[in-house]
Every structure is written in C-alpha cells, then in structure tokens.
Structure 1
Amino acid sequence: MPGLYLLALLASIVGVGLLDRRFRLALWRDRRTTVVATIVGTVFFLAWDAVGIATGVFVKGDSALLLGLDLAPHLPVEEPVFLFFLSYLALVLYGAAARVRAPREDAS
C-alpha cells in the first residue's frame, strides 16, 4: 500500500507532539530552540544521507510502503520526514530524561 510508511511517520509525529504538549518537554517548553534544533538536525542528517548516497553506502530499497516519489536518486520523499521525526523525538526524549532526572539531582 503506497504511502503507508509516510502515514505512519506523520501519525508518529502527531503522537510525539501530543506527548510533548501534555508534558511540555520540547516544543511546548521552548519553541524557538526546538524548531532551530529540529531543523539543524534534519539538515545535518540529510547532508549525511547525501554523502552516503554519493559514496554508494546508502541505497533506496524497494518497498510497496513508499510513495515512489524521490527527491533525488536513492532519497525518497519519506526520508526528510523521518529525519525530522528522529530529531524531534530526540529532543522530546531529552526533555523527558531531564525531567525524570531533575528531582533526583535536587535530593542529592
């Protein structure tokens, strides 16, 4: 089913965004820093992908779950969405870990 992977990525972004909103872990705590860090992370990983593609390390596999649209050879349209999700998820997890750790540090 073409597009299922992109749909799953978008649903995951929404789910992480809802957790972020509920607990104010990243975007809902510091919008500017989160947006900048997410964009920088996405661009960094896209550059990493470009190097990997140019050297022949990364190749796009065949999957019926992809839309079939490529931004460049071996770079499906889903890749930047995944990299955005990866960067945003890392920030949310960092915010969650900092929140869990904070009370323990105060008790010391």
Structure 2
Amino acid sequence: MIYLTILLLLLGCMVLLDARWKLFLFARPLAAASVLVFGVAFFLIWDVAAIHAGIFLHRDSPLMTGVMLGPQLPLEEGFFLLFLCYQTMILFTAVDRFLRQNRRRGRKTARWQP
C-alpha cells in the first residue's frame, strides 16, 4: 500500500506542475489524454509480453497492495506506467517551452546588437 500511496502522491505533484504551467493535460486535454492512454497501453503490452517470456516476475511485498491486474502484473505497475508517461511528457513539454522561449529571446537580442 505504501508504494501505491507514493505513486499517487507523485502523480498529484505532476498534476500540480501541469496545472500551474499548463504543460500537457492542461494545455491540450484531449490530445494529451490520448498520448497518455497510448503510452500506458504500449508499456502494459510490453510488460505482458515480458511476463509471458518469463522476464518479469512479481514477488509479494508488504509495500504493495497485493491486487493484481493480471498474472504477475500488480496494480501498482499500472500507476507506475501512468506516472512514467505523464512525467516524461511534462519534462518534454517543459524543455520544449524553455528552448523555444530562449530562441525567441536570443533572436530579439540579436536584432538589437550592432
């Protein structure tokens, strides 16, 4: 349960960052939601394939809920994948915005220099 709580807190922090600077979900909700759904689905399929190949195995832990989405696939994995995809898109859009703003400032500064 501790791991799920931490994941939910981290997701909440990502939502707050996104809401404050309108980076991803708060900038373009429909497009962002579809990217998140696609990303999570992609990694869930990847996990299922790895479980089927015997690469991923779940071990019981007192830090986890014990709720399983499928064989060897704990509930926390779904939330982790959601967090991973959301965090990645927040970082990507923040860096993209930062670089665009710096380029615009650089052009303005370059125009006024002799």
What 5-or-longer segments of structure 1 have no aligned partner?
Answer: none
Letter in 1 for 2:65: L
Partner of 2:95: 97
Query: Sequence identity of aligned pairs in percent?
Result: 35
Bigger radius of gyration: 2
Query: Are the counterparts in 1 of residues 60 and 66 from structure 2 also a CA contact under 8 Å?
Result: no
Runs of at least 5 residues in structure 2 that lack an aligned partner in the other structure: 108-114
Q: Which residue of 1 aligns with 2:49?
A: 51
Higher RCO structure, 1 or 2 (CA under 8 Å, sep 6+): 1
After TM superposition, the structure 1 stretch with the greater mean CA deviation from structure 2, 49-58 or 92-101, is: 92-101
Aligned ranges 1:3-18 → 2 under 5 Å: 3-18=1-16
TM-score by length of 1: 0.93
Give TM-score scaled by structure 2 length. 0.88
Name 1:62's counterpart in structure 2.
Answer: 60
Give a deviation string over 1:3-55, Cα, whole Å, max 9, x none: 11111111111101000000111011111111000000000000000000000
| Shift of residue 105, structure 1, vs aligned partner | 2.1
- Listed one character per residue, the Cα deviations across residues 33-90 of structure 1 (whole Å, up to 9, x for unaligned) are 1100000000000000000000000111332110011121110011111111111111
Runs of 4 or more consecutive aligned structure 1 residues displaced over 6 Å after TM superposition:
none
Number of residue-to-residue matches in the alignment: 106
Structure 1: distance between partners of 2:62 and 2:76? 13
State the Cα RMSD in Å.
1.0
Q: Is structure 2 residue 74 aligned with structure 1 residue 82?
A: no
